[in-house]
Each structure stands twice: as structure tokens, then as C-alpha cells.
Amino acid sequence: MSDDMTATMTRSNQRFALRGLVPWLVFAAVLLILPFIFTDGFSFTLMNAIGINIVFALSYNMLLGQGGMLSFGHAVFFGLGSYAAMHAMIAIDDASYAGEGFWAHVPVVAMPLIGMIGGGLVALVLGWPFCRRAGTAFAMITLGLGEMIAAAGQMFPSVFGGEAGIYGNRMVGPQWFGLELAQAADVYWFIAFWTFAGVLAMWAFTRTPLGRLSNAVRDNADRLQFIGYQPRNIRFLVFIASGSFGGLAGGMAAVNYEIITPESLGLIPSGLALLMAAVGGLGVFYGPIVGAVLVTLMNSLLSDYSDASILYVGLIFLSIVMFAPRGLGGGIEHVRTAYREGSLARRLPGWLGGAAAVLLIALGLIIVIEMLFAGHGGGDTVDVFGIQFQAGGATGWLTGVVALVVGVLVMRATRKNREVNA
């Protein structure tokens, strides 16, 4: 009997292990396949930016999603990690001409590690006094930190290069794995490797005792202190880990862009990290990955189709915070939970009705916004998903208002179904 139970548990553990490997195999397969599907230079540039933002957003999620620490200065670690990697690239360039010295033997593909060390050291120095506070006080401290470091970037040109920033050359030093980093494809494989390694390392962090304790600090710091753990110490260690991975993303960016400016230290990139994490979902590990992909695509592609691209990004952020605080990842987990419980068929009509209402409201808002921008810019026609309206005519306004009203009515009509089956 005991042998049968042991064999059953062994088979169960093996199935669980194989199930856990599937997402990583899919992730690796996607990274391997993408460069063979999208082969033009713009696609490589976009995919590289997505990889960097994935690591950046996940590093921020370690603070807010796992540790419950709202930060408005996370770009400090990204930017200083990038500066550390850029100065290291300059040192490699100088040592390559001399042919001797420590930096002559360091490959450029290792620059994300330099950025990670830089970001971690900065977090180590700043974290102990800052992590004494939590909540709003911590958020305000990080906001001041970000603005202070960004201002210092203008005041110390020998370190930060002033407004123009500093430049580097990624095609120097010893080459590992045959990557010259001269072609866009080489840079992609470099970004893909460090993206996979960074995501895997951050996922492993969530499985450690420290990762579990960070969730406990977020949920109930007083109870954690009651059982003998100091919340300040846990927050401090999580702060260091988050800053290290933020620096890793900065090192990847230094190699990819070959330039870094003080703007990377300020509030805008910190807000971008918050935006990506919140849109994707702070409560699930893969949420920031989804958010990074979506926000990067929107920032890069929407401007080709609309002058109101930044407004749309802001509206999406506000809508998710107000109506879907768990983000896109939280919605996916909600569907998965309903499927496992066998209640998906009962809940699906209400969800589909809500989705249809959201699409109608979004369509109405897009038409109204595009009509406003066309009137301001003096355009003759407004093109919304292939449908053209006269900028000065009433048809566009009427269509937008009708879509908004119908969307609101559908939302109200399906609300009871969603609440009953919640």
C-alpha cells in the first residue's frame, strides 16, 4: 500500500513538473521563432524594445505587485544601471586599443550584469533609510529621489554627459558566441537571451522564502512582525532585488541603443514602468509581460494612425485602474479559474456582454476623439477602422454618441448577470 502511494505521488510530481515547464518552453519557442517571422529592421527594433521593457516592468512588479511598495523613482535603477554599463563599454573600447587591462577581456554581451551590479549597489545604499517608511511616505520619497537624481544628471556632465548624454560602441571587446552585435539580428539574440534569463530569475525569486515574505509584507505587515520578521528588513531586501533587475534592464538598453541621457532617470520612465505593470496586472507574474508588450506596441505604432496616441494610452490606463484593477493578467486568471471550477459556461454570457459593451464604448470614444482632433487640425475626413466621416459633418458625432450610449446600456443590462455569477 505504501509503495502504491509513493508511486502515485511520484507520478503526480512528475506531471506537475512537466506542466510547470510548458510555459517556459513556449516562451523560449516564441523568442526563437520571432526573428524568422519578422525580418525587417523596424521589427527587430520593436522586439528589442519589448524585451527591455519586459525586464523593466517585471522588476517594478517586484516592488509593487509582490512587496506592495508604490515607487515613482524606479527609473533611477534602470538609468544608473544603464550608465554603469555605458561607462564599462567605453572602458572596453579604450582597453581594446591598448590590448591589455581588465576591461580588454570583458565582452559587451556581459553589460547587463554590470548594469545589474550598478542598480543593486544603488538600491543597497538608498534602500536602508528609505525602506523605513511604507505606503504614501515611501512613494513620496521615491518621487523625490527620482527628481533629485535626474537633476544631478544635468549637474555632473563628466558622469552623465549633460543633456546630450554619453555614447558607447557595442562592437568592441572580445566576442562571445560569435555575436558581433553589428547586425540587428545579433542584437535581438542578445536581448532575447537576457530577457529569458531575467524573467526566469525573477520567477525563481517569487519561489524563494524571501519572495513569499514579500507577499506577506504586502498583505499584512503587522502580522509578519508579530511572528518575528521585521517588515523593514524584508522591504529592504526586495528593494535591492528590484533595483538589481531594473539595472539589468538598463544594461540591456545601453547595449541596444548605445546612448543614455539623464531623461532615463526621471519620472517619465518610472511612470512607464508603473503603466506597464498596472495594465498587465500586478497580481500575476506574467501580467507585466503582457503589459510591456501592449504598451510598447501602442507607443510605437499608434502614432502612425492617430495624433491622439498618447491620449489613448492614458485612457487605457485610467480604464484599467477604475474598472479592471487586476489588469489583463487578472482577467485571464479569472477565466482560467472559472474553467477549472466548471463555471465558465455560466459566467461567459455576462463576460461577453461586458466585453461587447466595452468595445462599443471604446469605439464611441475613438470616433469622438478623432472628430475633435480633426476639427482642431483642420482635416477634411476622419478614418476610424476604415470607416470615413466628414470632419465637419454630423454623421461622425452622431455615430460616436450612439455607440457610447448603446455601450453604456449594454453594460447596465449585463451587469446583473455578471454580479449573480461572480
Domain boundaries, the chain: 38-310, 342-420
Grid cell 449573480 — which residue? 420
Q: Are strands 381-384 and 259-260 parallel, antiparallel or unpaired?
A: unpaired
The 10 Å CB-count burial string (b at 16+, else e) for 74-93 is bbbbbbbbbbbbbbbbbbbb
pLDDT for position 1: 45
pLDDT for position 340: 84
Whole-structure pTM over 0.85, yes or no? yes
Q: Which CATH architecture has domain 38-310?
A: Orthogonal Bundle (1.10)
390 phi-psi bin (left φ>0, alpha ψ -120 to 50, beta other): beta
Reported as a single tens digit per residue, the pLDDT across 186-216 is 899 999 999 999 999 999 999 999 989 988 8
Q: Which comes out higher in pLDDT, residue 322 or 25?
A: 25
pLDDT for position 59: 95
pLDDT for position 174: 81
Instruction: Give me the phi and psi of 388, to 5 degrees please.
Output: -105, 140
Reported as a single tens digit per residue, the pLDDT across 5-61 is 555 555 555 555 567 788 899 999 999 999 999 988 889 999 999 999 999 999 999
Reported as a single tens digit per residue, the pLDDT across 346-387 is 888 888 888 888 888 888 888 888 888 776 655 577 777 777
When pLDDT is cut at 50, 70 and 90, the band that residue 175 belongs to is confident
For all residues of the chain together, what is the average pLDDT?
A: 85
Reported as a single tens digit per residue, the pLDDT across 66-119 is 888 999 999 999 999 999 999 999 999 888 777 677 888 888 899 999 999 999
pLDDT for position 418: 65
Nearest residue to 59 via CA among 321, 249, 251, 235: 249
Mean pLDDT on 320-339? 82
CA atoms within 13 A on the CB side of 108: 33
Cα distance between residue 371 and residue 45, in whole Å: 32
